[in-house]
Amino acid sequence: MSGRTLGTLTIGQAPRSDIAPILQQHMPGGVAIVDRGLLDGLSHDEIRSRYGAEGGKPVLLTRLLDGRSVQLSARKVRDGIQAKLSALEADGCAAILLLCTGQFHGLRCERAWLLEPDRIIPPAIAGLIQDRQLGVIVPLPSQMKTESGKWTLLPRMPIFAAASPYDDPLETLGSAGLSLKQRGAQALLLDCIGFTEDHRRALANEAGLPVILSNAVMARLVAELLAA
């Protein structure tokens, strides 16, 4: 690929110090990374006003620069993402990685490669898991229902548990993994970009199952796309 600039777009605030090490580990030499966030420059009051969660509607969880987490309306986030994608493309990014595993529809770029985890991870996992039982860990209990629709490609519906990468201790994550194993899970997926290698390692040690880290999957694919 001639372009050697990767744009990343988080639905929170950039840069994401928790995700950056994973991307940097896999990126080929010479690739520049431009980080942007949907909530960049916004105060807490502005975030609540523009993107605050709506009662009873799908929500997404993300991280702010000060380390705090915030719940956002999935609908409002979708409406704000497109302008940020266009700005990254205007800055010359050859590929843009969306740092969120939530479901979005109708996003587009004119020239840049747009990598949406929601479009890539479910079919890849379906081919990998086949007829085995997948356990999926999402950040919020409400997402066990709202995020289930993206797994229709799997022959067997996943089973779900919730643990936040931002607010819960590793013990909570381990307990979630063990509960999924006891319910028949044969592999686990961390379905949030905010989970890190520390989470993956702790969960694998606790549950004794293969654990798939969403952001590592995406980082490896982006690295292949941008390889010289």
Contact predicate 110/89, CB 8 Å: yes
Calculate the average pLDDT of the chain: 95
Helix (H, G, I), strand (E, B) or coil at 96: strand
Those residues with Cβ within 8 angstroms of residue 100's Cβ, 6 or more apart along the chain or in another chain: 10, 11, 60, 62, 77, 117, 193
Tell me the pLDDT tens digit for each residue of 119-165: 999 999 999 999 999 999 999 999 999 998 999 999 999 999 999 99
Instruction: State the span(s) of the chain assigned CATH 3.40.50.1860.
Output: 119-212
**pLDDT tens digit sequence for 9-64:** 999 999 999 999 999 999 999 999 999 999 999 999 999 999 999 988 999 999 99
pLDDT band at 3 (very low <50, low <70, confident <90, very high): low
Q: Are strands 187-190 and 134-138 parallel, antiparallel or unpaired?
A: parallel
Q: How far is CA 27 from CA 18, 61, 220, 221, 223, in A?
A: 16, 26, 8, 10, 5
* CATH class of the structural domain 5-117+216-226: alpha beta
CATH of domain 119-212: 3.40.50.1860
d(CA 14, CA 90) in angstroms, rounded, equals 18
- Tell me which amino acid residue 128 is: L
Q: Is the pLDDT of residue 2 over 80?
A: no
Q: Which two tokens stand for residue 214?
A: 């969403």
- Whole-angstrom Cα Rg for the chain: 17
Could you tell me whether strands 69-73 and 159-162 are parallel, antiparallel, or unpaired per DSSP bridges? unpaired
